[in-house]
Structure 1
Amino acid sequence: MKTILTVLLVAILAGETHAQSLPGGFVYLRDIDPTIIQDIRYATSNNFVGRPLSGYRAGECVVKREVGMRLKAVQQELASQNLSLKMFDCYRPARASLDMVAWSQNGRETTAERRYNPKIPKTELFRLGYIASRSQHSTGAALDLTLVDLKADNSAKFDPSNAYADCTAPVGARPPEGSVDMGTGYDCTDVKGHTAAPSITPEQRAWRKRLVAAMGRQGFVNYSKEWWHFSLPGAGGAAYDFPIQPRRN
């Protein structure tokens, strides 16, 4: 009996340690809904900076619990339509935003970077509202995401050696994202990336509207300059800077 009680106590303490490993009511989205696809781009080199950002030590979506539960509800609705959410960014350590600031001021613009900013110099991205030195992502209230058609072939992978076209090009020419065609790639700082951009096709517009509607039914609000960016009013608060660590199973 003593051995059994010891095992149970160790299990309880381990569970508490896991539950307390994130501050401020944050949780790993996989612990709430493992069916939601994740492609946390700032933990990789496949982003506008071209390397992992400071604080991204794992490609895990971390969210406030309320946000996670609402995402789960969106996912359940989409599942009946053979669709899934795909997360590009969730909680963002404050140090990552400062990393973006330093990048914007380094005086260089590579060909790969220009794929994301085909018409706007990166020194202008903050002034125009595409990047913020203090991001809602750091409060846990903001998300970047898209839709995946689960019936489609989503097997194409990003190849850093490929000379892809910029983010406004037709879907077959720009880097693959394994998602529906929203008219631009993720993090595309161009007017075509504005949610209501008139220059996209009717089918692309329909996908954007479908995403906005599904998220809106759970209280999420879209940012008009970025079809992929959503926030949940009232879910934020103070900004955090804890790093994103690998999730413990």
Structure 2
Amino acid sequence: MTWNSSIPLQAPNQLLLPPIAENHEPLVSLKQYSPQIEVYPVYYHEGLLGAMKDCLLRLGVAQRLKEASLLLPAGFRLVILDGYRPISVQQALYDRQKERLLSQGWIENDDMYAELHRFVARPSSDPAKPSRHLTGGAVDLTIAGPDGWLQMGAAFDDFSDLACTRYFEEISPILPEEQKFRDHRRLLYHVMAQVGFTNYSDEWWHFDYGNQAWAVITGNEAACYGGILF
């Protein structure tokens, strides 16, 4: 596998979500799960109300993250920023981003909500349509090397076009620094895709496994992870 090959285009998502055939895998802590995996619960460090001091994910997701970490070059590791997200935390993120948009001059209308929902899912306890992170099958992450976190050309939760996974694939001519950002994104994308994850194309840091978004992209007839409510 060549980690520096281009990130492929993603087919448009279908409108109908597949059903969920819950497999009841447990949530597991990523702390001390693997020496190749670092945990930095970003929303906890930001002081977001209700955010956990740990990152939890379904067992199958954790296992695949370990596999992905072993594909990285020597001296590199995955950094997990967020995993399972309770509804209360999803609501806090949703409200925070809505306030940001309003403060930027957006008017509360369909266009504003389309922009909001592009980056932050509406909190949902609907068993037929849970938000991705509520399933424990969505993970936000980056890569760290010997000199620290790799530069990706847009910070985590930079809700702009710069965050689109293929952003640096589509600009020409490309500057040397931009080429570095592109190559770092390629490395993350390909090690994750190699072990079965799919990427949310508007966010270079977001990957799915086992939830409905993953099932849509992979063509599976059903998701295996539904929402987890405490």
Q: Calculate the TM-score normalised by the size of structure 1.
A: 0.63
Overall identity of the aligned pairs, in %: 26
Corresponding residue of 1:210: 187
RMSD: 2.7
After TM superposition, give the deviation of residue 192 of structure 1 in Å: 0.8
Partner of residue 144, structure 1: 140
Q: Match of 1:32?
A: 33
Question: Which of 187, 201, 205 is matched with 1:228 structurally?
Answer: 205
- Show the counterpart of 1:75: 69
User: Which residue in 2 is equivalent to 1:103?
Assistant: 96
Deviation at 1:37, TM superposition (A): 0.9
| Runs of 5+ consecutive residues of structure 2 not aligned to the other structure | 1-23, 124-130, 212-222
| Higher mean displacement: 90-99 or 61-70 | 90-99
2:133 alignment partner, SS class: helix
Q: SS of the residue aligned with 2:64?
A: helix
Over residues 169-188 of structure 1, what are the superposed CA-to-partner deviations in whole Å (9 max), with x where a residue is unaligned? xxxxxxxxxx1010011111
CA distance in 1, matches of 2:210, 2:98: 31
Residue 216 to residue 106, structure 1, CA distance change in 2 (3 Å): closer
Which structure ranks higher in relative contact order (CA pairs < 8 Å, sequence separation ≥ 6)?
Answer: 2
Q: Aligned letter for 1:70?
A: R
Partner of 2:158: 188
TM superposition shift of 1:104: 4.0
Q: C-alpha deviations, 1:40-71, integer Å up to 9, x for none? A: 111122xxxxx3232x242x110100000111
1:63 equivalent in structure 2: 57
The structure-2 alpha-carbon separation of the partners of 1:184 and 1:107, relative to structure 1 and needing over 3 Å to count, comes to closer
Distance 1:196 1:43, change over 3 A: same
Structure 1 segments unaligned to the other structure (5+ residues): 1-22, 46-50, 115-119, 155-178, 243-249
State the number of aligned residues.
178
State the alpha-carbon separation in 2 of the partners of residues 87 and 57 from structure 1: 13
Change (3 A) 1:108 1:227: closer
Query: After superposition, what is the alpha-carbon deviation per residue over 1:118-158, rounded to whole angstroms, capped at 9, x for unaligned?
Result: xx959667522110024201101100001111x21x3xxxx
CA–CA distance in structure 2, aligned partners of residues 125 and 29 of structure 1: 35
Are residues 180 and 31 of structure 1, via their aligned partners in 2, closer, same or farther at CA, if it must alter by over 3 Å? closer
Query: Given that residues 26 and 58 in structure 2 are in contact (C-alpha distance below 8 angstroms), is that contact kept between their aligned partners in structure 1?
Result: yes
Contact 2:101 2:112 in 1 (8 A): no
> Normalized against structure 2, the TM-score is what?
0.68
The structure with the largest alpha-carbon Rg is: 1
